[in-house]
Amino acid sequence: MKRNSSLKQDLEILRNTSKELKLIHGILSLLGWDQEVYMPSKGVLGRGKQTAFISELYHNKLISKELGNSIEKLEDNKDKLTRNDKSLLRNISHDYKKAVKIPSEVVKELAEIETISQKAWEKAKKESDFKSFAPYLSKILKLKLEICEKVGYKNSPYDVLLDDFEPYMTEEKLDKLFPKLREETIKILNKIKNNKINIVKKKINLSMPIDKQKQFTLLVLKKLGYDFGAGRRDEVEHPFTTWISANDVRITTHYYKEDFTKALSSSIHEGGHALYEQGRDKKILLTGLDEGISFGIHESQSRTWENFVGRSKYFWKYFLPKLKKLYPKFKSIQEKDLLLEINEVKPSLIRIYADEVTYNLHIIIRFEIEKDLIKGKIKVNDLPEVWNSKMKEYLGIKPKKDSEGVLQDVHWSCGKFGYFPTYSLGNLYAGQFFYKMKKDIPDLNKRIEKGDFACLLNWMREEIHKFGHIYTASEICKKITGKDLDAKYFVNYLNEKYGEMYGF
């Protein structure tokens, strides 16, 4: 009897701590969102102190002795726990066992330098001046390496960083997955170069007033199911989505007057992330299970909407007439020409605007650079040269300035080493999930063509969204598809789609 009573108390500690951590995380998210959207530039030092303080509070809450003792006792009594409690224990135990090894002062110092570094990156990018940003990046890298050593690792320090974004993923696993993906991508690129169809690409003027872009992307997001009563949309330099609470999931985008498809693409992408966050089962809110499984699974949701749906001919059969009605200057645009424009396969410098085929090469470049940087094979000051060299080797093009090369992404400025691989993992998960979705909804394409996006969202909600973090990434993949993650589904998708377009 006493043992059961103690078990109940330990579960209560686990649940309460998880709830408090979620609330603190929401505060950090709000601070981060404000920093990107509204904070005046002179507020960066104060915001750095605020973020450092809240980050240290989160860390200390996570590594409390009370929580550690409860975790230990509950792990000795796993057989008495429900499925959800076992999942909660797995998740918080995973985070606790890493965090408890990291000194609070390191967490505080890292949070502060990341905030300052992000503003330094923004300035460096505008001026295309990597040298001015390098000292900030060096400080972050030093602290990240210290964390890797404190946490410990079996094979590679990079595993510690990968695990922050894709729990249980390792460099060794990616080294088996990515070379095959790179090889198949190059095969497809060669097929496209040697295509039998002589594609005559008409030059389309895609410029559109920003106010009209805002109207159209709003129309699309609402139709896809994004709940603006539980979110909002703002403009930033580098688009992102942030979760502040269950009913406050905000998205951002960046508009380019000369090309409306860029803001549309990023809006759909971020909207996909937000739909995932808005789709939790209400029963698990603030339980520690109401979060995305991993960044790779999260990315699979956004990429399904952005690419598998948003770049498809079925999507545009529905939305092109509405675009023309909103902006009559597009009246002469033909569907086939627009599809070719938004799906053209052509190596480009900027990752976020890369086509579906070459995109993963951008990620593999970053993955290889990160590994070598963490292992000390290359130095921070070497990054522009290494970056340009790999771009030339993999994509056949070379940046002329840092802003379109090594400075183009925000991730390293805010310490997100290990994040980039999740983008390609997201593509692979998306390919495998979409294959199953089409089997479950045989007339999916026809429904999309008619504007029925609810069938797709409902499938996601039932198969993925509502479960939050009850399952791991590998478990949800196997639960849905019956198989482990396999690149062949995404590769088959590319071959089918671009084979039809380019005639191979």
Catalytic residues: 270
* Residues 110, 58: Cα–Cα separation, whole Å: 14
* Residues 171, 168: Cα–Cα separation, whole Å: 10
Provide the residue type at 415 as one letter. Answer: G
* Residues 487, 320: Cα–Cα separation, whole Å: 32
Q: Are 375 and 158 in contact (CB under 8 A)?
A: yes
DSSP per-residue string spanning 397-408: ---SSGGGTTTS
Element (H, E) at 440: helix 421-440
* Residues 399, 170: Cα–Cα separation, whole Å: 30
Element (H, E) at 234: strand 233-235
* Residues 239, 221: Cα–Cα separation, whole Å: 15
- For residue 447, what are its two tokens? 């429904």
Q: Is 136 strand, coil or helix?
A: helix
Nearest to 219 by CA among 324, 341, 299: 324
Provide the residue type at 72 as one letter. Answer: E
